Amino acid sequence: MTVAYLKVIKGSSAGQVLALSGEAVVLGRHPSCQIVLDNASVSRQHAQIVEEHGIFLIEDLRSRNGTQVNRNSIRGRTELRDGDEIKVCDYAFMFMRKASGPSIPVSPGSSVIAIGGIRETVSAPDPEIDSEPELIASEKALESSSVLTSISAGSSAQGLRLNVRPEAKLRAILEISMALGKVLVLSDVLPVILNSLFKIFPQADSGFVLLKDHHSDKLRIRCSQSRRSDDDDDVPVSMTVVRQAMDSGQAILSADVYGDRRFQHSESIAEMQLRSLMCTPLMDTSGNAMGVLQISTFDVSQPFNSDDLDVLVSVGAQASLAVENGAMHESLLKQRDFERDMEIAAQVQMSFLPSQPPVVSGYEFADYYAAAQSIGGDYFDFIRLPDERIAVIIGDVAGKGIPAALLMARLNASVRYHLFNAQCANKALDSLNSEMANSELGYRFITLSIAILDPSRHELQLASAGHLPPVFRRRNQGTDIIGNRESGLPLGVMPDQKYELLRIPLEPDDVILFYTDGITEAMNSRNELFAKERARQVIADGPQSVTELVPALIEAVDAFCDGRAQRDDICVTALRRTN
């Protein structure tokens, strides 16, 4: 019997010598092969060495990645000569006719695993194994899939994983940590992560970071990098891989994407021509997937392995923290900018309101305004008319915040325009209502009261568009709610609404106080409302001067709420005849 030898010169079993005997010795990934090469880039039956009349020939078995002899790809059967180098993907062997040392016998009746350390000769598997269905990919070593492993990317993976290739992990973590320690802005963090990974994995051709959008919850590529293309946006992305990584919370390694059963039906992967990829989910501190970090290569000779995936998971843990911190920093910056804008908006809104009450002989005025948010929809004004009459305006735009404030700003200008044109409270409301009804404000409505004081006649004209009726406190005669019967619908409801006018004579020490529903709808911890009756009682028992009465009403509301946050905008105006 003629015997030849293969010496492993590249692979984790380098130095071992295999003795070839028998008619055919098959090299491949399938366990039925005589020399099992446990690598996903190797085909199941990759190549065979046959002996014919003392001559050894090597034949490529239509493998996916080919077989080389002396760095030349072979087709059909090629004769082997002493010293020839055989290359099968990552593995290299030297063909020898003689061996100077011990060898491991290889024949059609046995198989040798030649990766991860050549193990002892074992009996050949049952020939029926070829007819068994291939296994679905799992965390175990797979015979039928190119997936080498998967690693949890959850909280248990947040620490350094130093059991394999500790020097590579330490270098990776230091690289990432040093780089990320210098940046906080998310748009700066992500390129640093990819740049560091491309240094750690020189075989990487492309990479990307894909994150959930906080507003739409959709996944978006936030950063990408390509080594072979000038366009970093031109990187392959398969949602099949992304979804599996995010749904399972596990990092995925596919040493040969084409041979990976998990992605067999993914058309996108087939079109991308990827050969090997690693994808790890980026998990927040609550264990939720924020997105993924993925790198891939097109080089079949340099696939990623389980050690690489272990490094990526460690880097991914650092990247997850950096992404979360970057997102938090970005959110804080946006919040700061928003708060600054709101402060400016509040200043602009306050500029619409009177800076101080009017000064009129024989009368005193007071006011109070506080928005539930930075800006609000309550509105008041004191407008001096050309004939020295004083118009006291108070209104409430439905809702609060920015939309209500914008409508209030418009109302401020419109009230002045219609009031100067009409010179009468109810006529001003008529024309103002017509404008608002034709302005397509949607379902928003405005309540508004206009009171025009004639200080020479000591008379007040009152017209109301659905606003809370004011409280009238007469000297030594208690309080009344006035104008309720004459009040019409809020502005903008009916274009042809006509408002009634109520004339009120004023005596010395008579007080009229207007307020918005932020007073009556203030609520305590027992969910009780302050209500109109409490407001009326405070006004009846309050100080004589309105400059003291208005603060007393606000203090009563605050005491009733007992520290509970203000639910709605509050606005109060008041006038009193002093003599």
Does the pLDDT of residue 540 top 90, yes or no? yes
Encoded amino acid at 212, one letter = K
Q: What does the mean pLDDT of the chain come to?
A: 81
Q: How far is the C-alpha of 411 from the C-alpha of 376, rounded, in Å?
A: 13
* Residue written as token pair 């302005």: 439
| Average pLDDT value for residue range 444-461 | 94
Question: How much is the pLDDT for 399?
Answer: 72
Q: What is the pLDDT of residues 468-521, one digit of tens each?
A: 999 999 987 889 999 999 999 999 888 889 999 999 999 999 999 999 999 999
One-letter amino acid identity for 310?
D
Tokens of 218: 């959709």
Q: 0.75 exceeded by the pTM?
A: no
C-alpha 148/C-alpha 242 separation (Å) is 18
Mean pLDDT over residues 276-301, rounded?
88
Residue 166 has a pLDDT of 57
- Label residue 6 by pLDDT band (50, 70, 90): very high
Which range among 167-171, 321-325, 367-371, 424-428 shows the weakest confidence by mean pLDDT?
167-171
Question: What is the tens place of the pLDDT at every residue in 350-388?
Answer: 888 898 999 999 999 999 999 888 788 899 999 999 999
DSSP assigned state of 259: G
Q: Please write the tens of the pLDDT for every residue from 142-165.
A: 233 333 345 566 544 444 443 445
Q: Tell me, what's the pLDDT at 58?
A: 95
- Pseudo-torsion of CA 433, 438, 444, 448, nearest 10°? -10
User: Above 60 in pLDDT, residue 129?
Assistant: no
Are 392 and 382 in contact, with CB atoms under 8 Å apart?
yes
Whole-number pLDDT of residue 343: 83
Which pLDDT score is estimated for 82? Answer: 94
Residue 286 φ/ψ, nearest 5 degrees = -90, 0
Q: Which residues on neighbouring strands pair with residue 370, listed in sequence order?
A: 570
**CA-based Rg of the chain, rounded to a whole angstrom?**
42
Is 83 a residue whose pLDDT tops 50?
Answer: yes
What element of type H or E holds 416?
helix 402-422
Check if the beta carbon of residue 308 is closer than 8 Å to that of residue 201: yes
HSE (side-chain half, CA atoms, 13 Å) at 78:
19
C-alpha 136/C-alpha 13 separation (Å) is: 28
pLDDT of residue 36: 85
Percent of the chain at pLDDT > 70 equals 81
On the 0-12 / 13-18 / 19+ scale of CB atoms within 10 A, 290 is buried
Handedness of CA 490, 492, 497, 499 (dihedral sign): positive
Angle between helices 306-352 and 166-180 (to 10 degrees): 10
**pLDDT at residue number 127:** 34
Question: pLDDT band at 11, cuts 50/70/90?
Answer: confident
Identify the DSSP state of 137: P
Rounded to 10 deg, the angle between the 402-422 and 306-352 helix axes is 20
pLDDT of 122 reads 37
The residue with greater pLDDT, 192 or 81, is: 81
pLDDT digits (tens, 9 = 90+) for 385-426: 999 999 999 999 887 778 888 888 888 889 999 999 988 999
DSSP letter for each residue of 206-241: EEEEEEE-TTT--EEEEEEEESS-S-TT-----HHH
Q: Please give the Cα distance from 574 to 553 (Å, whole number).
A: 11
Report the phi/psi class of residue 159: left, alpha or beta, with left for phi > 0 and alpha for psi in -120 to 50.
beta
Arithmetic mean of pLDDT, 169-182:
67
Q: What is the pLDDT of residue 164?
A: 41
Q: Is the pLDDT of residue 529 over 50?
A: yes
Average pLDDT over every residue of 79-87: 95
Residue 423: burial class (beta carbons within 10 Å; 0-12, 13-18, 19+): middle
SS3 content of the chain, % helix, strand, coil (to 5): 30, 30, 40
Please report which confidence band the pLDDT of residue 111 belongs to, taking 50, 70 and 90 as the band edges: very low
Amino acid at 10: K
Q: Does residue 285 have a pLDDT over 90?
A: no
pLDDT band for 175, please (50, 70, 90 cuts): low
pLDDT, residue 230, reads: 57
- Under the banding of pLDDT at 50, 70 and 90, the label for residue 131 is very low
**Which candidate, 425, 419, 400, places its Cα nearest to that of 349?**
400
Among 213-222, 246-255, 322-331, 462-471, the range with the most confident prediction by mean pLDDT is: 462-471
Nearest-angstrom CA–CA distance, 122 and 388:
112
Q: Are 61 and 47 in contact (CB under 8 A)?
A: yes
